[in-house]
C-alpha cells in the first residue's frame, strides 16, 4: 500500500507534495515501518511531530535533514549485510 498517493479529492497538484505527513506517511517517506520510525524518534535520529490543533504531523523537510544525517553504510559492509539478509 502506498500511503503517499493522493486521490482526486486532494486540492494539491501531484507536483506539490504535502509538507505535513502523518506518522504512517512519514515512516513510509523514510523507508521504514511505523514501529521502527517510533524508535528513531525516541533515540533522536528522526524529529518529533508538530501538533496542529488535534492533528499530529511530521515536517517533510525536517525528515529530509534527519535522513541526510543518518550514517551511510560503507559499500563493503552493505554487501555483507545484504547477503546475510537473504
77-86 per-position pLDDT tens digit? 656 666 666 6
Q: Per the domain annotation, does 6 fall within a domain?
A: no
Would you state the pLDDT for residue 9?
77
* Site of grid cell 501531484: 14
Q: Per the domain annotation, does 41 fall within a domain?
A: yes
Q: Per the domain annotation, does 69 fall within a domain?
A: yes
Would you state the pLDDT for residue 77?
62
Would you state the pLDDT for residue 8?
58
* DSSP-assigned letter for residue 55: E
**Which strands sit side by side in the sheet containing 50-52, from one edge to the other?**
20-21, 55-59, 50-52
Label the pairing between strands 50-52 and 55-59: antiparallel
Q: Per the domain annotation, does 12 fall within a domain?
A: no
Q: Per the domain annotation, does 1 fall within a domain?
A: no
Burial of 1 (0-12, 13-18, 19+ CB in 10 A): exposed
pLDDT above 50: residue 1: no
Query: Can you give the residue range of the structural domain that contains 61?
Result: 20-85
- Number of structural domains (the chain) is 1
25-72 per-position pLDDT tens digit? 999 999 999 999 999 999 999 999 999 999 999 999 999 999 999 998
* Contact of 39 with 46, CB cutoff 8 Å: no
Q: Per the domain annotation, does 5 fall within a domain?
A: no
* Contact of 5 with 18, CB cutoff 8 Å: no
Q: Per the domain annotation, does 14 fall within a domain?
A: no
Amino acid at each position: 500500500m502506498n500511503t503517499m498517493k493522493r486521490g482526486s479529492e486532494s486540492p494539491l497538484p501531484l507536483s506539490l507534495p504535502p509538507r505535513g505527513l502523518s506518522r504512517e506517511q512519514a515512516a513510509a517517506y523514510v523507508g521504514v515501518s511505523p514501529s521502527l520510525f517510533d524508535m528513531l524518534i525516541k533515540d533522536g535520529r528522526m524529529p518529533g511531530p508538530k501538533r496542529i490543533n488535534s492533528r499530529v504531523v511530521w515536517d517533510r523537510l525536517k525528515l529530509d535533514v534527519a535522513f541526510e544525517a543518518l550514517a551511510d553504510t560503507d559499500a563493503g559492509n552493505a554487501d555483507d549485510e545484504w547477503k546475510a539478509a537473504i
